Structure 1
Amino acid sequence: MADCRPRVLAIRSFFAVYDDLVDRLWPSSSVDSDVVTSFGTTRVHRLGSGDETPFVLLPGSGGPSLMWHAYVGRLAASRPVIAIDPVGEPGPSVQTRAIDNGDEWSLWLDEVLTGLDVGQAHLVGTSYGGWIALRHALRSPDAVASLTLLDPGGFGKVSPTFVAWIIACGLASFAPRPVRRALARPLRNLALRDDEAMPLVKATFGFRRKHIMPTPLTDDDLERITAPTLVLVGGHSQLYDAGEIAAVVTARMPRAVAEIIPEASHDLVLRHPDELAARIVTFAAATRACPR
Structure 2
Amino acid sequence: MRISEFRNAPAEARFRAAYERTFASLWPGPKAALDIPTAFGTTRVYRTGPDHGEPLVLLPGSGGNALMWHRSVAALAERHPVIAVDTIGEPGASVQTAPLHDGRDAAAWLDELLTALHTPPAHLIGCSYGGWIAINHAIHHPGRVTGLTLLDPAGMANIGWRFYTWVIAGGLAGLAPRALRPRLARAVGNSTILETELMALMKATMGFRRRLPLAHTFTDDELRRLQTPTHVLLGARSALHDSPAVAARLGRLLPTAHVELIPDAGHALTTDQPDLVTARILDGWPSTPLQN
- Scaled by the length of structure 1, the TM-score of the pair is 0.92
Structure 1 CA distance, aligned partners of 2:60 and 2:205?
A: 14
Per-residue deviation at 1:194?
1.9
- Structure 1 window deviating more from structure 2 (238-247 vs 168-177): it is 168-177
Higher mean C-alpha displacement, 198-207 vs 174-183: 174-183
Secondary structure at the aligned position of 1:196 is classed as: helix
1:141 counterpart SS class: coil
Residues 60 and 86 in structure 2, CA contact (< 8 A), matched pair in contact too: yes
Give the corresponding residue for 2:151.
Answer: 150
Q: Tell me, yes or no, if the aligned pair for 1:162 and 1:238 is still in contact at 8 Å.
A: yes
> What CA deviation, in whole Å up to 9, does each residue of 1:253-277 have, x standing for no partner?
1421111111111111112322321
Alpha-carbon contact 2:265-2:273 (below 8 Å) kept:
no
Paired residues in the alignment total 282
Correspondence for 1:197: 198
What does residue 266 of structure 2 align with? Answer: 265
| Cα drift, residue 185 of structure 1 | 0.6
Partner of 2:290: none
Q: CA separation of 1:39/1:63 partners in 2, compared to 1, >3 Å: closer, same or farther? A: same
Structure 2 counterpart SS, 1:197: helix
Aligned residue runs from structure 1 range 30-179, under 5 A: 30-179=31-180
Question: For structure 1, which segment, 244-253 or 188-197, has the greater mean C-alpha deviation from structure 2 after superposition?
Answer: 188-197
State the shift of 1:116 in Å. 0.6
* Cα shift readout 1:36-61 (whole Å, capped 9, x = no counterpart): 00000000111111432200000001
Query: RMSD between aligned alpha carbons?
Result: 1.9
Asked if 1 retains the 8 angstrom alpha-carbon contact of 2:56 and 2:124, the reply is: yes
The verdict on how the C-alpha distance between 1:254 and 1:143 changes in structure 2, with shifts beyond 3 A counting, is: farther
- Structure 2 length-normalised TM: 0.92
State the alpha-carbon separation in 2 of the partners of residues 268 and 283 from structure 1: 16
1:153 alignment partner AA: A
8 Å Cα contact 1:40-1:95 kept in structure 2: yes
Between the aligned partners of 1:214 and 1:67, the Cα distance in structure 2 is: 19
Tell me the amino acid that sits aligned with residue 98 of structure 1.
P
State the shift of 1:119 in Å.
4.9
Query: Does structure 2 conserve the Cα–Cα contact (< 8 Å) formed by 1:157 and 1:214?
Result: no
For 1:200 and 1:156, how far apart are their aligned partners in 2?
A: 30
Say which is worse superposed, 231-240 or 45-54, in terms of deviation.
Answer: 45-54
- 5+ residue gaps, structure 1, are 287-292
Question: CA 1:58–1:186 in 2, change beyond 3 Å: closer, same or farther?
Answer: same
Between the aligned partners of 2:222 and 2:106, the Cα distance in structure 1 is 16
Cα drift, residue 137 of structure 1: 0.8
Q: Distance in 2 between matches of 1:154 and 1:5?
A: 27
Q: Quick one: distance in 2 between partners of 1:31 and 1:278? A: 24
For the residues of structure 2 that align with 1:89 and 1:36, how far apart are their CA atoms? 16
Secondary structure of 1:61's aligned partner: coil
Gap regions ≥5 residues in structure 2? 288-292
Q: Which residue does the alignment assign to 1:289? A: none
Q: Secondary structure at the match of 2:146?
A: strand
Q: Which residue of 2 aligns with 1:215?
A: 216
**5-14 or 270-279: which moved more?**
5-14
Alpha carbons 1:155, 1:216 under 8 Å: kept? yes
CA contact (8 A) 2:58 2:84 kept: yes
